[in-house]
């Protein structure tokens, strides 16, 4: 079983965000991640905390803040967030170290970590306490495995992030997230989070505990569905030809 969370975009008002959170909690997701940016940050997150109490709540800034915003992050410590993700620029490993030293909320790095060497530098500096491993971002399962193992040796927990993945990528993410040291719910949502028809069979759905059951089949555990792929194909190139 893999535990899933859901990642929610920035809404036009705190009320709109509350409605979105309510919808996904009703579907069973127990960890809510809210994107945030200046002007759409602490008030939005505080509203979610007030309305929904002790849910697993975290926030992802996609690199839009700087060290000048440390006072804001100190205030956000009071919200009891599970983590704040990628608060500063992706190459600001040193500044993330200063931020992590200044706040109690764990800093999670996403775009800053493309390889196990990036993970080593970030962990040695103390720039994060958590790493979001995206299999596609780090170049595949081998590097994802290296990062997971290195992080585990240094007591830095991981979880698996997502990128609007269709079923083939989701299958690989599920396999990665089944490894030890994936300690937090993953951004591996149900197939129907983004797609009416997934391109694999069977589709992946969360149960009432926001968990996806791992397939017993070898490899990623799902088969690509040629019928669905054909139905959604808008262009096709054929390479090669008959041998003479």
Note if 236 is an active site residue.
no
Rounded to a whole number of angstroms, the minimum distance from the CB of residue 139 to Mg ion is: 17
Q: What residues between 87 and 116 interact with Mg ion by CB under 5 A?
A: 110
Pair 5, 210: CB distance under 8 Å: yes
User: Total residues contacting Mg ion (rule CB under 5 A)?
Assistant: 3
Residue 118 to residues 19, 22, 146, 151, Cα–Cα distance (Å): 37, 36, 11, 11
Q: Does 187 bind Mg ion (CB under 5 A)?
A: no
**Alpha-helical regions (H) of 53-195:** 70-76, 93-102, 116-125, 141-153, 167-177
Closer of 60 and 198 to Mg ion (Cβ): 60
C-beta nearest to Mg ion: residue = 110
Residue of the chain from 60, 92, 143, 187 that contacts Mg ion (CB under 5 A):
60
Rounded to a whole number of angstroms, the minimum distance from the CB of residue 243 to Mg ion is: 47
Rounded to a whole number of angstroms, the minimum distance from the CB of residue 132 to Mg ion is: 6
Catalytic residue among 33, 37, 134, 236: 134
Closer of 110 and 165 to Mg ion (Cβ): 110
Note if 35 is an active site residue.
yes
> In terms of Cα–Cα distance, which of 215, 220, 190, 231 is closest to 24?
190
Distance CA 109, CA 91 (A): 11
Closer of 85 and 143 to Mg ion (Cβ): 85
Rounded to a whole number of angstroms, the minimum distance from the CB of residue 85 to Mg ion is: 5
With contacts defined by CB under 5 A, name the span among 11-19, 53-61, 149-157, 207-215 that binds Mg ion: 53-61
> In terms of Cα–Cα distance, which of 168, 167, 157, 218 is closest to 190?
167
Query: Rounded to the nearest 10 degrees, how much is the dihedral formed by the CA atoms of 170, 173, 178, 182?
Result: -130
> In terms of Cα–Cα distance, which of 9, 73, 21 is closest to 47?
21
Residue 224 sits at φ, ψ, to 5 deg, of -65, 140
Residues near Mg ion (CB under 5 A) are 60, 85, 110
The catalytic site residues sit at 35, 134
């Amino acid at each position: 079983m893999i535990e899933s969370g859901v990642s929610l975009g920035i809404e036009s008002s705190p009320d709109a965000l509350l409605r979105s959170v309510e919808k996904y909690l009703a579907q069973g997701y127990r960890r809510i991640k809210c994107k945030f940016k200046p002007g759409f940050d602490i008030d939005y997150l505080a509203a979610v905390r007030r309305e929904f109490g002790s849910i697993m709540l975290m926030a992802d800034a996609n690199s839009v803040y700087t060290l000048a915003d440390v006072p804001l992050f100190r205030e956000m410590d009071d919200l009891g967030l599970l983590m704040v993700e990628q608060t500063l620029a992706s190459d600001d490993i040193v500044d993330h170290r200063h931020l992590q030293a200044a706040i109690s909320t764990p800093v999670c790095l996403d775009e800053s970590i493309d390889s196990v060497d990036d993970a080593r530098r970030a962990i040695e500096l103390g720039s994060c306490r958590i790493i979001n491993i995206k299999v596609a971002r780090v170049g595949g399962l081998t590097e994802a495995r290296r990062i997971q193992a290195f992080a585990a040796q240094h007591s830095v927990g991981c979880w698996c992030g997502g990128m609007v993945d269709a079923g083939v990528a989701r299958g690989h993410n599920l396999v990665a997230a089944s490894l030890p040291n994936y300690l937090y719910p993953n951004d591996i949502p149900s197939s129907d989070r983004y797609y009416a028809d997934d391109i694999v069979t069977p589709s992946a759905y969360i149960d009432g505990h926001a968990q996806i059951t791992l397939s017993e089949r070898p490899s990623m555990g799902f088969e690509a569905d040629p019928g669905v792929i054909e139905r959604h194909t808008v262009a096709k190139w054929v390479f090669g030809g008959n041998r003479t």
